[in-house]
Chains A and B, each alone.
Chain A
């Protein structure tokens, strides 16, 4: 039977429900720019009605509504977009890492500028050419020695820089491994809390947001994939190896490489080597062990070719002081190449026989090395060999940068799609707020109406004539 007090209860429930709706709107507005936040909304539903026997009280028949209640707080989850977003973002992370390292290498080598190895090689050949013109000229000899030193130190400097850059990546790798471990612990902890909240039938909306954010980041670093399980926990794997299961984690660690002690490798705590399928970590490791290494080996090959080709001819010649069988360059690779310290200006061999000051046969032969195809199995000159190495680096850097840009665009588009579904729109919240406010006001009015009724019943009823 409807009573005044049940009417007040219904009005109160409406007031409470709408104030909760307002609170959720407030929560949304407050988090409008929180990364990873998914908007929430109150799902309002009518209370279970009472069946009343209307005929008995002559009040008509039917079910009597009991007002409104907040059934649950819904979270706009977008797990389908999440999966695609993470796949593309890990690929983008891979290319971004490569692009950043390779661009750094390219600007450190500065091969296009006048400081490049090729201009230095040209200068060296020109030095020989000039000396062949005037083999007794001591100042030309000194200039040649100077050019040769510049060339050798130019090659040394590049090899040192590449080696330094490889070592520098250790910091990044170690940092990323630490981040992965800390994200894994976060996810494990969140898994535990989420499962507990779900088990008591509530929605851990904000915890899920946090976990999704951690999974986004993890995907970007290593290309980790996650699978949601029935109890709300998530299983995270990297390249097939489990990182987080339930509230347990398997940690990663860095170990010094056995062969090259200047770099670190990433291993699972069970000793297996980590092979990230994509992500920033893969980009970093690939650039370090791929392109950087290739460039270094290329420099070594160049230095070695230069040393052998020049020395072979130089050792057969005679200097102004009849010195012979002297190495022009010492060393065997890019790090060790140097001009023989025993070689002074007068000992530079230009003549093919002793006591022939004007004989320039050897100088001509060495100057002619410029066009001798002694590299890549006799298909390229030293200049061409290094030219193609510079171009290779350019092409790889170009590809990495373009890929990073393209994948960045896709990440942005997918992020927008996700945001479009789950992001907070202030206009929408303003409208919801207005709606809840009006409903609240109306419910309060209803309550006032009951208040009047009570006033009537209590204070004025039965007071006829008083």
Chain B
């Protein structure tokens, strides 16, 4: 082929430009640490990396949901633990009240007074809140779960004097809040106070009333029997069972959340490594390639320098 000087020059320029472009691409890869800057550089991996990143973001939200859910459930669990302590103390008080050797006054003043503080304490626990949200109120997280008030009709104490008994009302609703730990994995977050706690609180009030009235054993009269210490004892026992039952189910859900959180963590780790595989530049390979490309570029410069400033016959003609 006949080679002209213009051809030599233009080829040299094109070779230099091509090589410099390759050097700059490799430099871009190394300095950003990414395999590609735009989807056009690697459409398949770019698409995969976009959806993996979305996936990762979803997993992050599920993870934080799991974290919040766990906090809520832990708070519920410790509330139940405290309620059970209260139940045990109430049980002891009632047992002491059943003791014949106590005088009516002792029951009505000291035992009943202590029982009243237990009622207050239990209602306080029933109104446990987490970050300003009452956890036993169903959907009504902005409202206290239980309200303690004076009953409308007074009762008579063991001496025949009237006294105002307390009454407790559930102020929440029947909402069961759901949390998503995965696309199709919902878990119930809350325990409803009306199902788990209300009965217990009412039994505590009954116990207070029975102690104040000195109603000890059942008489066989269905109208007055629920107000005796004996039947209150049975009631407290069954309330304790109810508390225990809801605490256990809360615990079971906590384990479910725990295992979901662990699963999410491991999937997150896997997704991260997959994402890195798709979009992260292989540094060792990149540096080796860059060094290689730079050597090539230097060689091209050397050769081009000769091609452009090449001597021609004119330099030798006299």
Contacts and interface: CB of A to CB of B under 8 A. Distances in A.
Interface stretch (B3-11, B115-123, B262-270): B3-11
A449 to B, nearest CB: 25
A324 B268 CA distance: 37
A452 B251 CA distance: 131
A87 B212 CA distance: 109
A132 to B, nearest CB: 7
Contacts of B6: 32-33, 419, 423-424
B61 A416 contact: no
Nearest to B9: A33
Interface string A330-362: 000000000000000000000100011111110
A101 to B, nearest CB: 12
B313 A106 contact: no
Nearest to A402: B40
Interface in B11-48: 11, 14, 36-44, 46-47
B68 A134 contact: yes
A75 interface: no
Given A129-B58, A137-B131, 16 more contacts: A32-B4, A32-B6, A112-B36, A118-B50, A122-B57, A123-B57, A129-B62, A129-B65, A132-B65, A358-B140, A387-B54, A397-B40, A412-B14, A426-B312, A430-B314, A431-B313
10 contacts: A116-B50, A118-B50, A125-B57, A136-B133, A357-B142, A358-B133, A358-B142, A391-B50, A420-B1, A426-B312
Interface string A411-437: 010011001110111110011011000
Interface stretch (A219-227, A236-244, A308-316, A364-372): A364-372
A49 interface: no
B34 to A, nearest CB: 8
B255 interface: no
Contacts, number: 178
B213 interface: no
A394 B4 contact: no
Nearest to A126: B61
Nearest to B137: A358
A351 B175 CA distance: 11
B9 to A, nearest CB: 8
Nearest to B190: A358
Contacts of B61: 125-126, 129-130, 367
B272 interface: no
Contact of A394 (B40, B133, B173, B183): B40
A contacts with B: majority SS: helix
A388 interface: yes
Interface string B140-153: 11100000000000
Closest 4 A/B residue pairs (Cβ): A394-B39, A397-B40, A423-B4, A430-B313
A119 interface: yes
Contact of A391 (B37, B39, B140): B39
Contacts of B3: 420, 425
B13 to A, nearest CB: 11
Contact of B43 (A107, A133, A367, A391): A391
B195 interface: no
B237 interface: no
A292 B98 CA distance: 88
A205 interface: no
Contacts of B248: none
Interface string A228-265: 00000000000000000000000000000000000000
Contacts of B43: 391, 394-395, 398
Interface in B129-174: 131-133, 137-142, 173
B96 interface: no
B283 interface: no
B142 A106 contact: no
A20 interface: no
Contact of B58 (A357, A358, A370, A390): A370
Nearest to A396: B40
A427 B47 contact: no
B179 A351 contact: no
B140 A102 contact: no
